[in-house]
Amino acid sequence: MKLKKVAALSLATVMVAGMLAGCGNSPAAEESTGAAEQTGAEGEETASAEGDVTIWYYWENEGHQKALDELIKGYNDSQDEVAVQAKYVPFADFKKQLSIGASADELPDLVILDNPDHASYASMGIFADITGKFDVSSYYDGPVASCTLDEKLYGVPFGSNCLGLYYNEDMLNEAGCTVPTTWDELKETAEKLSTDSVSGLAFCSLQNEEGTFNFMPWVWSTGATSYEMNTENGVKALTFVKDLVDSGAMSKECINWTQGDVMNQFISGNAAMMINGPWQIATMREEAPDLKWNVALIPKDAQNASALGGENYAVIAGGNEEGALKFLEYATSDEQVNFMMNTMGYISADKSIAETQFADDPIMKVFVEEMQYAQARGPLPEWPDVSDAISLAFNEVMTGSATPEEAAATAQSTIDEIVQ
Amino acid sequence: MKSVKKFFQYDNIGLLFVLPAFLYMLVFVGYPIIDNIILSFQNVTVKNLVSGSRDFVGLKNYFDIFKDQVFIKALWNTLFFTVSCLVIQFIIGFGLALFFCKNFKFAKAVRGLLMMPWMIPITVTALIFKFIFGTDVGILNYILQSFGLIQQNIEWLTTANTAMFAIICANIWIGIPFNMILISTGLTTIPKELYESASIDGSGKLNTFIKITLPLLKPTIESVLILGFIYTFKVFDLVYVMTSGGPVNSTHMLSTYSYKLSFEMFKYSKGSAVANVLLVILLVISILYLRTTTKEEDA
């Protein structure tokens, strides 16, 4: 009788576990499908096993993937010591895969990752310290800061981007508006442009890192830092966003829109202005060749501000560090950086290269100008916590579940616990 | 050698057959669960995941999550979501099963078509429902407006209560076929003679249903409800795609919150503590299920 009970209990455990396995075991499945996308394996059969370098990246954009393929192929053809191959990991799974990989000791040799996460993983100890191995003196400060932790360099900036204001020229002309440069003008213009089917302004306000990325320019523009939410300026930024939503100048649905969704709303004419990055340009030109749009600096309160985006290379500690470094040297050479940045629509993190880029592209020139004002998120190992507190705050404000003052106070108490 | 041989005679030989499955379960199910339980008693965060100096903190993670407003909300959401979905799915599924066991033309074909929602990948369903419930471009608001039922567009997915409603609707749509098909199968096991003799004895439709159909379907109904509970309670992809727990954490389920803690905020131990709460609840339900089924088999 007792045995039967034990058997029933263990059976029950197994049953539940089998059902939960749906959540838990999926990374393995993804890994195998991801392997199908491995690229640049041409030189593989000639290379020795020690000479392999695997890269993880998350760009879903086909143009980006092709550019990386070409970079890798060029490198593999140029020498036969190191064979590089890349593996695509979806952005939503990237952090998860790195965490799982770190605890299971199954990491690649090189990763191209989102810069605000860099500090977290560096503090985890999975990145090799490459201080002194790369000259980053000609790079912009923001990107270099994002690779640095405790004054040690744990990566090399891959390329950068930042946010700017896109506007629909036809809609602005029709409404008789000029391009806004200040918050007041922005609000006024957005209200004028709003109709039943068009919202004046849109920017991604998801309750995650992507949303925080789009919200921080408003905070920084007031002069506040990322850690000063419950100040006059922090509350001001929250109030501004709240007013945009309350006045109907911005759709509340932004809290469910990714930056890609926002771009789709813009090119289909449902949004007259949007905050977005230069990586959308290629798609916009392709999908809506007739749409007349232009780009300007993000309207400012006290000072110009934009959020620094982009990726960093990081060498995994304990992997094929030597091979990864060799590839990095090739990939960061002027010629290759130029090729990658121009193909992908990125701004080089290397100032000397960035200044020569896009000489005849007025739109990209705006983004290069905006780069001077772009600030990095963090760098702080606990940035995900800070980011979560901030994104909760603007979501509360936008949905009306808290006043700007309340939301700022809640966010501040979380931030103060983290940042002493 | 002889004793080994003796051991595998008669009943014990069965153990040998079970062994491969048992080993598989031990490695792929048992190990992760035990590892996860250990993880929830430690304080693993981004800083010590790799370095290995993990402190044992006892029940601290559990105390912490039960003080966490979002966790309490997620726990309540999961229960509310499960019970509402279960009740409505079951009633509609039962109704459809009764309807399709009448042998009219195309009954089988239409019943087959109704299985569609069950077969569509959940991510696809979630995206479709996300479009349906869109505020400005959603078809639901369009329909409601053109019938004059609403003046202003309803902000389905950006208001806490309506977002929950939308997710429940989507899940009900998915779950109806599951209920319907299991109950249909149950209905076919009831001997026709019983209904015939009941009608000869002058029993009415409702009376037949209460006195014959329901009691004979009891084992099926129990299975459907308990399996349905387990399937619904562990919902993840639907919520993750439709709202990712928003707006303002109002639609977080235990599963999505556990994911967020572990993989977005790097609080691995807290995330696993939340997952273990989910595990314990499902364990209780499963024991209940096994009890009822084994009792019936014994009887």
The CATH code that applies to domain A164-297+380-418 is: 3.40.190.10
Rounded to 5 degrees, φ, ψ at A372 are -60, -30
Q: What number is the average pLDDT over the span A137-148?
A: 87
Task: Give, in order, the Cα–Cα distances in Å from A210 to each of A165, A205, A258, B137.
Answer: 16, 7, 7, 23
B126 token code pair: 């979630």
Q: Taking CB atoms and an 8 Å limit, are B282 and A19 in contact across chains?
A: yes
What class has domain A38-161+309-375?
A: alpha beta
Residue A400, strand partner residues: none
**Percentage of chain B exceeding pLDDT 90:** 50
Residue of A12, A252, A255 with shortest CB distance to B286: A12
**What confidence category does residue B107 fall into, taking pLDDT thresholds of 50, 70 and 90?**
confident
**Per-residue confidence (pLDDT) for residue A224, from 0 to 100:** 93
Cα-to-chain-centroid distance, residue A43: 32
For the cut 90, the answer to whether the pLDDT of residue B271 exceeds it is: yes
**Domains in chain B and their CATH numbers?**
57-298 (1.10.3720.10)
**Per-residue confidence (pLDDT) for residue A277, from 0 to 100:** 92
**Per-residue confidence (pLDDT) for residue A23, from 0 to 100:** 42
Query: A384 touching B, CB under 8 A?
Result: yes
Which among A370, A394, A227 is positioned nearest to A309, based on CA atoms?
A370
Residue A271, strand partner residues: A199
The model's pTM is 0.78
Identify the three-state secondary structure at position B105. Answer: coil
- Asked if omega into B121 is within 30° of 0 (cis), the reply is no
Determine the residue of chain A that is closest to B158 in CA distance: A253
Mutation site, A20, A98, A120, A201, interface B, largest B CB count within 10 A = A20
Rounded Cα distance between B291 and A204, Å, is 50
**What confidence category does residue B1 fall into, taking pLDDT thresholds of 50, 70 and 90?**
low
Cα-to-chain-centroid distance, residue B126: 16
**Per-residue confidence (pLDDT) for residue B37, from 0 to 100:** 93
Rounded Cα distance between B272 and B264, Å, is 13
Query: B266 touching A, CB under 8 A?
Result: yes
Task: Give, in order, the Cα–Cα distances in Å from A59 to each of A14, A92, A337, A354, A378.
Answer: 38, 11, 17, 21, 22
**Per-residue confidence (pLDDT) for residue B172, from 0 to 100:** 95
Q: Taking CB atoms and an 8 Å limit, are A25 and B28 in contact across chains?
A: yes
Q: Which residues of A touch B268 (CB under 8 A)?
A: 99
Residue of A17, A23, A199 with shortest CB distance to B33: A17
Contacting residues for B203 by C-beta, under 8 A, at least 6 apart: B211
Do A164-297+380-418 and A38-161+309-375 fall under one CATH topology? yes
For the cut 60, the answer to whether the pLDDT of residue A7 exceeds it is: no
Q: Which residues of A touch B289 (CB under 8 A)?
A: 12, 15
pLDDT, tens only, A78-107: 988 899 999 999 887 888 888 888 888 889
Query: Could you please report the per-residue DSSP string of B250-266?
Result: TT--HHHHHHIIIIIS-
Residue A127, strand partner residues: A316
Query: A96 touching B, CB under 8 A?
Result: yes
A28 token code pair: 């393995």
Contacting residues for A342 by C-beta, under 8 A, at least 6 apart: A357, A358
Mutation site, B23, B44, B248, B272, interface A, largest A CB count within 10 A = B248
Residue B64 DSSP class = H
The domain limits of chain A are: 38-161+309-375, 164-297+380-418
Average pLDDT, rounded, for chain B: 88
**Per-residue confidence (pLDDT) for residue B264, from 0 to 100:** 85
Rounded Cα distance between B133 and B163, Å, is 9
**What confidence category does residue A43 fall into, taking pLDDT thresholds of 50, 70 and 90?**
very low
- CB contacts under 8 A, A 248-277 vs B, are 251-253, 255-256, 270
Widest distance between CA atoms in chain B: 85
**Per-residue confidence (pLDDT) for residue A46, from 0 to 100:** 36
For the cut 50, the answer to whether the pLDDT of residue A36 exceeds it is: no
**Per-residue confidence (pLDDT) for residue A16, from 0 to 100:** 53
Q: What number is the average pLDDT over the span A372-388?
A: 88
pLDDT, tens only, B217-268: 988 998 899 999 999 999 999 999 898 887 888 999 999 999 999 988 888 9
Identify the three-state secondary structure at position B290. Answer: helix
A219, A237 Cβ separation under 8 angstroms = yes
- Asked if omega into B20 is within 30° of 0 (cis), the reply is no
B196, B252 Cβ separation under 8 angstroms = no
What's the CA dihedral at A43, A44, A47, A48 to 10 degrees?
A: 170
Residue of A11, A20, A381 with shortest CB distance to B234: A20
Determine the residue of chain A that is closest to B22 in CA distance: A14
Q: Taking CB atoms and an 8 Å limit, are B49 and A251 in contact across chains?
A: no
Mutation site, B44, B82, B154, B158, interface A, largest A CB count within 10 A = B158
Average pLDDT, rounded, for chain A: 85
